[in-house]
Amino acid sequence: MSRQTSSSLLFAIAIVLAVGAAVTALPYSASTISDLGYYTLCPFAPWSTLALLLLAGVSWVVRRYIDAQPA
């Protein structure tokens, strides 16, 4: 896999994870209340939100590392 392909793939993964993190905290009519105190799309919010943001950050850091390597 080329460097450009790897970088693009990691960028796409970071974006998807960040969007997923935002979606987990959206209000939703669920059967259980999250730790945030309201009904959310994901009952594990904010922990799932933080985990997804952490994974997005790791993906971003690895992408930056790949881009910084000399050709």
**What digits encode the pLDDT tens for the residues 33-55?**
888 888 988 888 899 999 999 99
Closest CA to 7 of 53, 66, 52: 66
Residue 71: the pLDDT is 77
pLDDT band at 16 (very low <50, low <70, confident <90, very high): very high
% the chain with pLDDT above 70: 100
- Higher pLDDT: 38 or 60? It is 60
Identify the three-state secondary structure at position 15: helix
At residue 29, φ and ψ (nearest 5 deg) are: -80, 90
Residue type, 39: Y
Residue 43: the pLDDT is 86
Alpha carbons 13 and 52: distance in angstroms, whole number: 11
Mean pLDDT in residue range 25-34: 86
Residue 6, CA atoms < 13 Å, CB-side half-sphere: 13
Alpha carbons 34 and 45: distance in angstroms, whole number: 6
